Structure formats: structure tokens, C-alpha cells
Amino acid sequence: MKKTTLLILIVSLLSLLGVNPATAATQKKAVDAVVIASFGTSYPEALEAILTIDKEMRKEFPKAEIKHAFTSNIIRGIWHERAGDAAWKKANRSVPEWLYEVKGPLATFGALQEEGKKRVVVQTTHVYAGEEYLDLKAYVDAVAGIDTLRAKWKPFSFMTLGRPALGKAGVHPEYHADIEKAAETLAGDVKKAQKMGAVLVYMGHGNEVFPSSAYIEFQKAMNAMYPEVTTLVGTVEGYPSLDEVTFALKHMKAKKVFMKPFMVVAGDHARNDMAGDEDDAWKTVMEKMGVKVTCELKGLGENPEWAKIYAKHAVDAVTVHKGH
């Protein structure tokens, strides 16, 4: 295909999506700040995931201020306590200073307003559009929807929210495409499992009061994309649970498992619920079944290709969808 023809096709496609190619780059450059909103982690060794996402976001928005917000009150409290612990800080010199003052989403928005930032993108690091994502969306909608008699007094002239890694309900783009893109970034995990002759098992967080069909669809996408290795996905809360995973392993008569957290950071759940020594830890349960288990304590965010998903979704929120 000639370059001219390809360019015409690209321009036509962008037009159908409501994107003006001449202004897309300008829209991105006009962003004053990007808020990377995560649940958070108290484990210094798990921070690599969040810092990798930070790095990819700075590549996409080199002129914007990058801020982090943790949605967990408990985790923010832990970091605030550590701020006054000189011995702890001395023993953990690699921890970025901003962590000791990390705020929640609303407080972060307020700080940006005080700094005079007007065009803000909030990018969630959640895996799928579940309960915590919807709570974050409620915050963003509320602040973005503030109207004032005089436009200049609105907190922000533009505020939008980027979708989770596995997408959200809608047609542009369809979440199926996001799930497939996410699966593409995990080819390295498949190769490791294949080399071990193991079943690849991911432990997600899940939710007891919220549907989690995205996990099942992701499992289906992985098995279709990488038929050489069987992939199973379970969650700490809700469905599919550990019971569904162990049932499948028994049915397959599996002898080896390569297990990783299907979470952005390898924090408490990964280190205790998945790879811990307690009787109810996933590793322990599988080993009692006679399965040899190898765990890798690396969060999804530590994979640069996965981290790029969030940066790309932040760009989409500004240049394509302008919404959430």
C-alpha cells in the first residue's frame, strides 16, 4: 500500500472517530496535569509498578505536571506515618519523596486548582471497570461538573478520566479490543510458563458485590491468543474464585503452575494471599494438591508494555473520547 493511500485511510478513520488529526497533538500538549490514580501500596519493593507507569506517562505528556493519588485511606496513612520516621527513610532511600505526602483524588484535585492547573487528565490504574473505578469516576464527574456563574471561576476548564486497562462499557473503543491488547502485553509470561511446562495462573483482586466477567473474558482471550499454554484467572474476592481455579487444575491433572498477580502492584495480596505460607494461601492450597508452584512477585505495572496501556488510555481520553 502506498504511503499516500495509507495516510488517507488513517485520516478517514480518525474523522469517523471524531478526531481532527491537526488538533489531536495540540489537545495533548494543552494538558496541564495528569493524575495517576492508584489504590496504592505500602510495599517499597512493589513501587516499581507505579514508577514504570509514571515513566510511560511522562513520555506521552512531557510538558504536563504528573501527580499521583492513592485511593486507599489506609495506605496513605502508612506513608504519612513513615514521613516522620527518620530511621525508616534512611533505610529506604530509593523511595520518592512525593510518597510521604501522597493524597487522595479530591485533595489532589484541590492542590492542582491551587497551582492554577486548568486542563487535567485523571488516569486510573485499575485493571477493570469495577467498584473502585466507578467511585473514582464519581469524584471526577462531580469536580468536572462544577459550574459557576462566571466561567473563569470553574475549578477546571477540562477534566476527563482515562479508562482501565481492560476497558469499559462502550463502543469507541469496544472493551474487547482493550482486553486483546492487554493479553498481547503478557506474551513473556506465557513463554515462562511454556518453558516450565506449567499452567499459567493469574490471581486478580475481584469484588464480592460487583460483576467480574472481565476476568473470564480476559482468560478466554489469553487461551485463544496463546493456545500453547493454558491460562486460568481467579480472584481473591468474588467470582471466579480459587475454587474455580483448583477445580480446573484437578480436571487437567496439572502438575506445575506458574502463578502471578493479575494486579498492578505485587503488594499484600500477592505476597500473602497468593505466595504466602498460610494454609489458605493459593500456593499452599495448590501444593497440597500435589502441584509444583512457582510464583513471580511482579505486578502488571512493572511490565512496560502494560504500563503503556494506561498512558495510551490517558491520551485517548484527551484526543479521542473526551469522556469517561
Looking at residue 323, its pLDDT comes to 45
- Between the alpha carbon of residue 112 and those of residues 96, 133, 145, 151, 213, the distances in Å are 19, 21, 16, 18, 36
Task: Look at residue 2 in the predicted model and tell me its pLDDT.
Answer: 54
Residue 126: active-site member? no
Comparing 17-178+304-319 with 186-298, is the CATH topology the same? yes
Q: Which residues contact 198 (CB under 8 A, 6 or more apart)?
A: 229, 254, 256, 257, 258, 292, 294
Q: What is the pLDDT of residue 212?
A: 84
- The catalytic residue among 68, 126, 205, 324 is 205
Task: Cite the annotated binding site by residue number.
Answer: 205, 237, 269
Q: What pLDDT is attached to residue 172?
A: 73
Domain ranges of the chain: 17-178+304-319, 186-298
The pLDDT score that the predictor gives to residue 206 is 92
Which candidate, 78, 122, 85, places its Cα nearest to that of 102? 78
Mean pLDDT, each 10-residue run in order, the chain (324 residues):
53 52 68 96 94 97 96 96 94 94 97 96 96 96 94 93 93 88 98 98 92 93 98 96 97 97 94 94 97 97 98 92 49
CATH class of 186-298: alpha beta
This prediction has a pTM of 0.90
pLDDT of res. 320:
73
Tell me if the bond preceding 227 is cis, omega within 30° of 0: no
CATH 3.90.1150.10 is held by the domain 17-178+304-319: no
* DSSP character at residue 296: -
Secondary structure letter of residue 100 according to DSSP = G
Residues flagged as binding site for Co(2+): 205, 237, 269
